[in-house]
Structure 1
């Protein structure tokens, strides 16, 4: 949202250092952001952090399957969180699975934001019949629950990370479009927009350098919340067998693989990935909720 310093009609930047200071002043929101960053770093550097590569068959032994937490394997390796039915180290599988979940959540949310923001800006700026057509399409998508849209699309496309991304983007973009259009309609009535049009600036310059940057605050909040929702949605689809294929790591697949063992006191196969998924989603939601409070004057004390 930082505009060029030479722009004569550029409004003041919305995101400032004071906003960052106010955000970090809340220990709960700061803790959520720090936890998410640490988990994301663990996921990125999974090959260096995880005790083993749980998807390398050369590192697995069926003799080590279903070992409880704190056990030692046949080769002397310690399994702090136990092993799953395939003999994989649960800690390593969770770190690798988290990498897939975070990648899908971030990628789908960012692409959906870009598509939705473009549709919302065009609808607000163009108005008329184009606005009406685009908003009816947005309302049609929003009329159905996100998970229902994703389930239908995945049943058509089949499993796969690329197909899962497409399905999640198609289910998420409409929310960003509606928020962007609402913010853009408010911004278009401000003086700097009137001045930009009076000075003869082109449509693309007004959209990119003036309108879009000042629509970012609500999009930032919605983006953080959508990241958490996308991570949970991916886990749900993978748990149902419609998301990530079984050959790829995923928190949803890990939870599903241990679901049949809950009643046999082998709780760790499902419980530990479920706790990690809860922490991951909660950390993003805590940061997003406080950011919403800071950017919405009605919610500020």
Structure 2
């Protein structure tokens, strides 16, 4: 088996995939915004190739290989999958990687990873085939249209941004939303700067405006056949005006008119049933999204990392950090 390792983004081979998240331009955005070292493994045997790309998250004493966000995993021919996994783990040990994360979605059904632990989330998609459109129209008739009429009566209007525009305001709304929900701010300001620079025709932002003030917004990322509902943001004082229903309705309608084959609501935590219900009410289908992980270091080191991460992610720790910043 011939194995190649690519450390420079410009060395990455171009391989066909409909999802933008597997393409070189997306990997470059991740590298330049999050600062992670990019690594791609190319396994080749008898003219067939299997790829896995990911980021090395290095916090000093603990290193993680994470298949690229949000839909990382393997691409290519799976006929020599088990041998490739063996070499893959061996190489990561030489890189002194402590933990591996690899994700699998319904579009990328590679075999089960033996020896890996498994977690899951939900992946919800609205398909624009006959069955999907019938379900969507039925949902609009009995659920959605009432909310859209209410939003219009409340005075909401649609504003769309695309192309090489400054989207700092959307980053601020996103950051405020994450802080309000006590979440982790994953996508940084540089990421929002690079999206319009590198993907001017592959993204759009919809705002639900009340006068001159945005009540909520959604960022869409466009693959060849799929529109991805990538990041949502909102102002909680306007939630009763139903801005989220208003935005999604217009985003889905535009996706249908532009000829896309599906609308991807993306991932939902396995414990968040309310959000899952919101995504499914549009007539969409839900699939299991697997996250496989394996520790390559000793168990004590992994346990220490997990304990520290839980402490960092806890609400008490976030309140303490907020108090320190205010002082």
TM-score (norm 2): 0.21
TM-score (norm 1): 0.22
Higher gyration radius (CA): 1
* Bigger RCO of structures 1 and 2 (CA < 8 A, at least 6 apart): 1
Structure with greater proportional strand content:
2
